[in-house]
Chain A
């Protein structure tokens, strides 16, 4: 029969709108307003999943975020989502879900054999079996695949998620988290101030615990009135279906809004989820409570549920989950559940561990026809696959049986062992909570963070009237703290709740007379950690809660111990004869509940993951057959297809062409910094190792910079454009670092220097024109400048025009050929490149890419990124000659540290290979005949085929390299497992005298 456990009336569901959902291949009927869990319960589906380790049958245990058992796969294909708590999955027509961690099927799960093997799967099983001496990791690696398949949660999706997610940043004055009675009262007060208020509720409806009370009571009319008032306030924004998962420094909060999770698909142009980053002045936390389960034998069987959850299904969803119900409690809260179940037609036995209970409550349940058994509790849940009976026993004040247990048939056991305040967000910021030994729960320390106020159930408050009053006061106080104080009286509510804190017992577990559980008693349902696992960990010497947690894995499942942490602590406290606060508590970290990766990523993936930088000439390159390559954030032409059929052919051809004709490469990505001011020369003199005071306007100089610790930071050239105007270039990758360092020096240490440094990288396009024909070509292209060797010697610059485009021509060479760098404002970059291409046709001009540029500089022995790796000194790179001895500069003292002067340090050498031999960057170097073990005597930094020499060459850092010219070394690449030998040579492979660039 369809929905056989649905009551004929009642609940907050929309009975006018029937829907159908699929679970495990079968269709079930429900109503709009249901969750997947409430539909399954309404249709008497008790078996929903298999447990993590033992594959025990499990059913719905709760009605909220704390659900440990009813985890399902939701949706299919790209929208497939694992580990969805059925208690949170809002049902919609056509919902498709399936069980997880069961094979071949939920009912006949082979993994359930693990139950038989349970003695072997105790705490620390994996460590003991697979790690350490004896078995070792090799055995683990063999078994891992099978174990991971058997033990586990849901299966992750393997298709791209078709949905959109987005991020939003907001500022507000007052953030209120939780829209139960306390949160609503706070919003009511704060909203009157006219400040911007954000009210966040994880449920689809406002009301919190009020929604679990019977529909139509006084509390409903108060709720409706209050919600209407809050909604009418223009400055209050309400976010439902939104979880505040993290509280961070600076009063920043992370929220995830499930915008369209309650539908199969989001409508077009809508996002499935939205990540909110909220910056607030004041926060009011009204996050409520989570009920604690009672721990006894068989407490994980389908049919055992939290008492508050049973009440929620009854009153909110109109589902009566059992006809023969045993309620087992330690506090007053379950009296509501018991009497309301009885009123709905169930036969109810209420076991209370306490011998004395408040008279008004005992009278109330008696009047509803509930059989009350004080001083009693459920010792064990019995039944195969689901609960069919319970052993009920009289208990003493520690929860031990004091007499014979009686077996009573039942189909539902509702349990309560008090409540745990949801202090996660508070603790994320404030740290360790206080322990309230009267109520048996951790509570936030009062006034620990001035901008965060906790109210309602989460401070251990059991009275709804107090929650409303406190919430309202917190709203007024938050407004006052924001400088908009207002007056107001808290609403007077006409209804009351049952105060769970009044006379509550501290019993959390029910045992036999010998202090042992009767059967398997679970503390962590999701990770299958039993009471005896905690005992075992204690016997093996575990004392710290943090160790206990990791050894037994209690509290480490996706629910992060929302139901289990306190029980585990309580057991450890008993074993160590300590009070619970002396045992300690674990640390709460974000997120409060699992959040999807999609929500965190938003649109920042693929090409949107980070900004891509393009040269102003960029478009020309792909249009003309360039293969592009990422260089940091930049896209640069790697090589041009017209040059050869693959990378190697192309770059060799391009480099060779430059040596014989003329080539052109886009160097706009070079870091460029304007250094300006009357003290600019002094400044350069301090940051570069070489002298700058004599550089005349119109001249260019190469310079090297060190870090404060004496290692090489960067190299580049600086041109003096005018008296107080210098133009510095840095390597592409170090531009940001150099600028930040220079700003630091000027703003913190050298405040007296009148110098400004400004990044102008994006303001200038730059083209290097290199090769024997470069002068002829440029002279043909420019007007207004004489480029002859006499007028423009090396390291000089001149301003001119090319086809009306203003350019500045720096004569300088990186390739070792006669060469120029042509600078123009970025907007002219593309036009200039095109113009040079046109003019260049007559001179056999060809573009070349970064790979050929690298080949040319290696032939000249110039250092670049792979050599400037932050671990090399001037001496290591044979740049020591540049350092001035006449002046101090950054790093000038520390570069002389003893260890950095050691001649055995790896220093820069050239390597030549014979025949087809070559090396990859990173290959290690060993002396001829030495064992090829360990870190070697150095490594290869840059490699290329040299068209000029007709052989493979490389730059390398080799221990004592300067004295080893002519030696043969072994070159070993352990990654590709290739070995060869090479001859150590000078780094000046080609044209060592530099005649060509000075031509």
Chain B
């Protein structure tokens, strides 16, 4: 079980969170009309071996989405930031 240092709640078990996928994808602007851009946003992921920035949702805590650095190879976790504070 990985443990996530929620900026609001402190160090908590992974079981309090819901995984939210790659945090490097940027949602296109609302007026974007190119389906390819939307396809990339919704479906295409790089699936890196090693360091990964990913969304986790503190569903059983403060309800904040956080961006966590996690190594996909050995599960070590790094910095954890509030998504809403990352532009």
Which residues of A pack against B, CB within 8 Å? Answer: 248-252, 279, 686, 708-709, 736, 740, 743-749, 751, 888, 893-894, 896-897
CA of A749 to CA of B42, assembled, Å: 13
Q: Is the beta-carbon distance between A708 and B42 smaller than 8 angstroms?
A: yes
A-B contact pairs, 30 of them (CB 8 A): A249-B3, A249-B75, A250-B2, A250-B75, A250-B77, A251-B3, A279-B3, A708-B38, A709-B42, A709-B43, A736-B59, A743-B57, A743-B63, A743-B65, A744-B20, A744-B57, A746-B84, A747-B65, A747-B84, A748-B27, A748-B55, A748-B83, A888-B30, A888-B31, A888-B32, A893-B35, A893-B38, A894-B38, A894-B39, A894-B42
Instruction: List chain B residues, Cβ under 8 A from A748.
Output: 23, 27, 55, 65, 83-84
Shortest distance in angstroms between A701's beta carbon and chain B's nearest beta carbon? 20
Given contacts A740-B18, A896-B35, contact A708 B84 (CB under 8 A): no
Q: Which residue of B lies closest to A751 (CB)?
A: B84
Q: Which residue of A lies closest to B26 (CB)?
A: A749
Main secondary structure of the interface of A (DSSP, over half): helix
Given contacts A251-B3, A252-B13, A888-B32, 14 further A-B contacts (CB under 8 A): A249-B2, A249-B75, A250-B13, A709-B42, A740-B57, A746-B84, A748-B65, A749-B27, A751-B84, A888-B30, A893-B34, A893-B38, A894-B38, A894-B39
Q: Is the beta-carbon distance between A250 and B1 smaller than 8 angstroms?
A: yes
Within 2-34 of B, Cβ neighbours of A (below 8 Å) are at 2-3, 13-14, 18, 20, 23, 27, 30-34
Instruction: List chain B residues, Cβ under 8 A from A248.
Output: 1
Shortest distance in angstroms between A251's beta carbon and chain B's nearest beta carbon? 8
Shortest distance in angstroms between A67's beta carbon and chain B's nearest beta carbon? 31
Q: Which residue of A lies closest to B23 (CB)?
A: A748
Q: Is the beta-carbon distance between B14 and A250 smaller than 8 angstroms?
A: yes
CA of A373 to CA of B42, assembled, Å: 74
Q: Is the beta-carbon distance between B3 and A252 smaller than 8 angstroms?
A: yes
Q: Which residue of A lies closest to B63 (CB)?
A: A743
Instruction: List chain B residues, Cβ under 8 A from A897.
Output: 35
- Which 6 pairs show the lowest CB-CB distances between chains A and B? A250-B3, A749-B27, A249-B75, A747-B84, A747-B65, A250-B2
CA of A279 to CA of B13, assembled, Å: 9
B49 at the interface (CB under 8 A from A): no
Shortest distance in angstroms between A707's beta carbon and chain B's nearest beta carbon? 9
Shortest distance in angstroms between B11's beta carbon and chain A's nearest beta carbon? 8
Instruction: List chain A residues, Cβ under 8 A from B77.
Output: 250
Instruction: List chain A residues, Cβ under 8 A from B84.
Output: 746-748, 751
Within 35-84 of B, Cβ neighbours of A (below 8 Å) are at 35, 38-39, 41-43, 55, 57, 59, 63-65, 75, 77, 82-84
CA of A251 to CA of B74, assembled, Å: 12
Given contacts A709-B42, A748-B27, contact A893 B33 (CB under 8 A): yes
Instruction: List chain B residues, Cβ under 8 A from A708.
Output: 38, 41-42
Instruction: List chain B residues, Cβ under 8 A from A751.
Output: 84, 87
Shortest distance in angstroms between A892's beta carbon and chain B's nearest beta carbon? 9
Q: Is the beta-carbon distance between B75 and A893 smaller than 8 angstroms?
A: no
CA of A742 to CA of B65, assembled, Å: 11
Shortest distance in angstroms between A711's beta carbon and chain B's nearest beta carbon? 11
Q: How many A-B residue pairs have CB under 8 A?
A: 66
CA of A708 to CA of B83, assembled, Å: 19
CA of A744 to CA of B55, assembled, Å: 9
Q: Is the beta-carbon distance between B64 and A740 smaller than 8 angstroms?
A: no
Shortest distance in angstroms between A687's beta carbon and chain B's nearest beta carbon? 11
Instruction: List chain A residues, Cβ under 8 A from B65.
Output: 743-744, 747-748
Q: Is the beta-carbon distance between B87 and A740 smaller than 8 angstroms?
A: no
Residue from B14, B65, B82 having most chain A Cβ neighbours under 10 A: B65
CA of A298 to CA of B59, assembled, Å: 59
CA of A708 to CA of B42, assembled, Å: 7
Contact of A740 among B27, B34, B43, B59 (CB under 8 A): B59
Q: Is the beta-carbon distance between A686 and B41 smaller than 8 angstroms?
A: no
Shortest distance in angstroms between B22's beta carbon and chain A's nearest beta carbon? 11
Q: Is the beta-carbon distance between B30 and A686 smaller than 8 angstroms?
A: yes
Shortest distance in angstroms between B25's beta carbon and chain A's nearest beta carbon? 9
Instruction: List chain A residues, Cβ under 8 A from B59.
Output: 736, 740
Instruction: List chain A residues, Cβ under 8 A from B13.
Output: 250, 252, 279
Q: Which residue of B lies closest to A279 (CB)?
A: B3
Q: Is the beta-carbon distance between A252 and B1 smaller than 8 angstroms?
A: yes
CA of A252 to CA of B27, assembled, Å: 35
Q: Which residue of B lies closest to A448 (CB)?
A: B74
Shortest distance in angstroms between B14's beta carbon and chain A's nearest beta carbon? 7
Instruction: List chain A residues, Cβ under 8 A from B83.
Output: 747-748
Instruction: List chain A residues, Cβ under 8 A from B75.
Output: 249-250
Shortest distance in angstroms between A789's beta carbon and chain B's nearest beta carbon? 39
Shortest distance in angstroms between B86's beta carbon and chain A's nearest beta carbon? 8
CA of A901 to CA of B34, assembled, Å: 17
Instruction: List chain A residues, Cβ under 8 A from B27.
Output: 745, 748-749
CA of A751 to CA of B85, assembled, Å: 8
Q: Which residue of B lies closest to A893 (CB)?
A: B38
Shortest distance in angstroms between A187's beta carbon and chain B's nearest beta carbon? 25
CA of A896 to CA of B75, assembled, Å: 39
Shortest distance in angstroms between A246's beta carbon and chain B's nearest beta carbon? 10
Shortest distance in angstroms between B3's beta carbon and chain A's nearest beta carbon? 4
Shortest distance in angstroms between B50's beta carbon and chain A's nearest beta carbon? 15
CA of A743 to CA of B57, assembled, Å: 9
Instruction: List chain A residues, Cβ under 8 A from B32.
Output: 888, 893
Shortest distance in angstroms between A379's beta carbon and chain B's nearest beta carbon? 47
Instruction: List chain B residues, Cβ under 8 A from A896.
Output: 35
Residue from A251, A744, A749, A893 having most chain B Cβ neighbours under 10 A: A893
Q: Which residue of A lies closest to B20 (CB)?
A: A744
Instruction: List chain B residues, Cβ under 8 A from A740.
Output: 18, 57, 59
Shortest distance in angstroms between B12's beta carbon and chain A's nearest beta carbon? 10
Instruction: List chain A residues, Cβ under 8 A from B1.
Output: 248-250, 252
Shortest distance in angstroms between B5's beta carbon and chain A's nearest beta carbon? 10
Instruction: List chain A residues, Cβ under 8 A from B34.
Output: 893
CA of A709 to CA of B33, assembled, Å: 14
Q: Which residue of B lies closest to A251 (CB)?
A: B3
Instruction: List chain A residues, Cβ under 8 A from B87.
Output: 751
Q: Is the beta-carbon distance between A894 and B35 smaller than 8 angstroms?
A: yes
Instruction: List chain B residues, Cβ under 8 A from A709.
Output: 42-43
Shortest distance in angstroms between B33's beta carbon and chain A's nearest beta carbon? 6
Q: Which residue of B lies closest to A739 (CB)?
A: B63
Shortest distance in angstroms between B17's beta carbon and chain A's nearest beta carbon? 11
Residue from A686, A746, A748, A749 having most chain B Cβ neighbours under 10 A: A748
CA of A250 to CA of B43, assembled, Å: 30
Instruction: List chain A residues, Cβ under 8 A from B23.
Output: 748
Residue from B23, B63, B82 having most chain A Cβ neighbours under 10 A: B63
CA of A249 to CA of B32, assembled, Å: 41
Q: Which residue of B lies closest to A431 (CB)?
A: B74
Q: Which residue of A lies closest to B36 (CB)?
A: A893
CA of A746 to CA of B83, assembled, Å: 10
CA of A897 to CA of B35, assembled, Å: 8
CA of A896 to CA of B35, assembled, Å: 9
CA of A894 to CA of B28, assembled, Å: 12
Shortest distance in angstroms between A883's beta carbon and chain B's nearest beta carbon? 15
Shortest distance in angstroms between A758's beta carbon and chain B's nearest beta carbon? 9
CA of A423 to CA of B42, assembled, Å: 43
CA of A279 to CA of B5, assembled, Å: 14
Shortest distance in angstroms between A23's beta carbon and chain B's nearest beta carbon? 41
Q: Which residue of A lies closest to B37 (CB)?
A: A893
